[in-house]
Chains A and B, each alone.
Chain A
Amino acid sequence: MKSRTIKVDYLARVEGEGGLLIKMKGQQVSEVKLKVFEPPRFFEAFLRGRKFSEAPDITARICGICPVAYQMSSCHAIEEALGVKIPQPIRALRRLLYCGEWIESHALHVYLLHAPDFLGYEDAIRMARDHPTEVQRGLRLKKAGNAIVNLLGGREIHPINVRVGGFYKIPARTEFLSLAEELKWARDAALETIRWVATIPIPDFERDYEFVSLRHPDEYPFNEGRVVSNKGLDIPVRDYEQHFAEEQVAHSNALHSALKERGAYFVGPLARYSLNFDRLSAAAQQAARSAGLGTVCRNPFQGIIVRSVETLYACDEALRIIEQFEMPDKPYVEAEPRVSIGFGCTEAPRGMLYHRYRLDERGLIVDAKIVPPTSQNLKTIETDLLHLMPANMEMQKDRLQWRCEAAVRNYDPCISCATHFLKLRIETE
């Protein structure tokens, strides 16, 4: 019986260090291992004994691509613990900051990390030689997102202006208005992006996933909502650990997360989109339909289209917030320490990010739990590969390996975040 192994020692175009090993015997996959060897980072342990006010800045250091997500989930969890209510103008600015992070992260993934997979380039630099207009558009789009984070977060990477209760300082209305012109360009560029990715050849592949994301009564989810799925889950954030568990697997320095009752699940753009299509703006819904998407998307390779739709949404939402800007009375709400526990979930570009903190009477962190989106997707990525291999056995080894790597990149995995992950190997015995 013919057997083959796909092995990628270092996966490219993902954040952090990971590899992939797939072993086949005939048409059967005998082993799929997404190996995460990025060293563990012990952030949850670093947080013990620190003051609650330090959590947003410490956890922002977990990731250079989605620091805002860590700041937002930590703030919401601690604010719940301390009974802090956030006024509407501060809430709106938090959504604006999140729009900036989605735009920069999605533009980077769509143009520089994932498009080369579908267009047959080893990397974005080789793609840029043949597609300079698109790559320039992607870089400028990313910069438009950076500009929001820079203004409101204080700097592009690891922003420093977020605090429990709000912001240290809120820029003047005129500074926000100065972002509008470039955001109008970015909105058109996002539409152009959707039209472009709709023409890219994308593999057919669908599975019946359990999608999990936040759902809010009237908004596309960033900061708030209930945790819902397409298989009947509908819980408040504080019940997260009753339904989800993390487990250790020998081949990975990242924990694998699973639904206690049903196992693997899917977080990220496809999940958000499929559970919240009705919450997208009319323009984003229209653009998605024009690109050939339905109201639910079960093909993870189409994640490149969904990210582009979410980028359009984020540009529109950012412009809306800037137009309706209202200066808060105070940049933040004071928080008083007390013995408490708080839970927070927000939607990082890669998916739902869960934080839980227990605080003592002085406001020191007794313990902390952080579940990043990539560790929630690891089981689903491995299962995708399990299904992808038999369907593509006729492919040449190098093409098959390419397809498998692209399937991992569908999830825009952030290995640095999860290690607490990419190199690929397909072996033929």
Chain B
Amino acid sequence: MTASPSHTIVIGVGNEYRGDDGAGIAVARLLLLRVPADVRVIEQSGEGTSLLDAWRGAPSVILVDAIQSGAVPGTIHCFDASENALPSGAFPCSTHAFGVAEAIEMARALHELPPHLIVYGIEGETFADAQGLSPAVQRAVAEVANRIAGKIETASNFPS
């Protein structure tokens, strides 16, 4: 068993070989060098049981995944998952039937949800078998990375 993480975890979810599905992974890689040492940045496929393990015991989690809601590609969605369920059907890019939205609801049912769980969804354009992000998603990735870095900096300046 891994020790309980005591600080913020940033989880980038996706598959970099499926076009814009790599958006979450790209955000994680941008953040890796920008966040303080006590913030863990990890990459995940979106498989639900692994997510439950990844955030177990963490007080604060920021998760980034690609999303397909019909909005304009590159649109940034932000959900407070510690309060409400994610909109159903918006995260279809997760592997198998047990993905990000299911993992969050399973954790809620088991009272294992991190006290703070923010989910960023980046609206993707293409999820074809290819590497590389479409330009609008690329811009959104940079923007989300900036927002998360800003959030973390603000939080560390005002320790709770």
Contact = CB atoms under 8 A, between A and B. Distances in A.
Interface of A: 12-15, 64-65, 108, 112, 124-126, 128-129, 132, 135-136, 139, 142-143, 146, 156-157, 182
B151 interface: no
Given A143-B49, A156-B50, A157-B45, A135 B110 contact: yes
A14 B98 CA distance: 11
Given A64-B96, A128-B110, A139 B52 contact: yes
12 contacts: A12-B97, A15-B97, A64-B95, A64-B96, A108-B49, A108-B98, A128-B106, A135-B110, A146-B50, A156-B47, A156-B50, A157-B95
B124 to A, nearest CB: 20
Interface string B77-119: 0000000000000000001111000100110011100000000
Q: What are the nearest 6 A-B pairs in CB distance?
A: A128-B109, A129-B109, A125-B105, A125-B106, A132-B110, A125-B109
B153 interface: no
A3 to B, nearest CB: 32
B53 interface: yes
Nearest to A107: B49
A139 B97 CA distance: 15
A126 to B, nearest CB: 8
A112 B52 contact: no
A132 B98 CA distance: 17
B122 to A, nearest CB: 23
Interface of B: 1, 45, 47, 49-50, 52-53, 95-98, 102, 105-106, 109-111
B19 to A, nearest CB: 17
B45 to A, nearest CB: 7
Nearest to A12: B97
B110 A112 contact: no
Contacts of B102: 125
Contact of A142 (B45, B49, B109): B49
Nearest to A138: B49
A126 B106 CA distance: 8
Nearest to B85: A125
Contacts of A15: 96-97
Nearest to B47: A157
A231 to B, nearest CB: 35
A1 B111 CA distance: 52
Contacts of B105: 125
A112 B109 CA distance: 13
A182 B1 CA distance: 9
A146 B47 CA distance: 12
A142 B106 CA distance: 15
A134 to B, nearest CB: 11
Contacts of B52: 139
A124 B110 CA distance: 11
A146 B51 CA distance: 14
Nearest to B101: A125
Nearest to A113: B97
Nearest to B103: A125
Contacts of B98: 108, 112
Contacts of B45: 157
A132 B49 contact: no
A135 B106 contact: yes
A383 to B, nearest CB: 26
A268 to B, nearest CB: 19
Given A15-B97, A182-B1, 11 more contacts: A13-B97, A14-B97, A15-B96, A65-B96, A108-B49, A125-B102, A125-B109, A132-B111, A146-B49, A146-B50, A156-B47
A173 to B, nearest CB: 21
Contacts of B50: 146, 156
A108 B47 CA distance: 12
A136 B110 contact: yes
B97 A143 contact: no
Contacts of A112: 98
A156 to B, nearest CB: 7
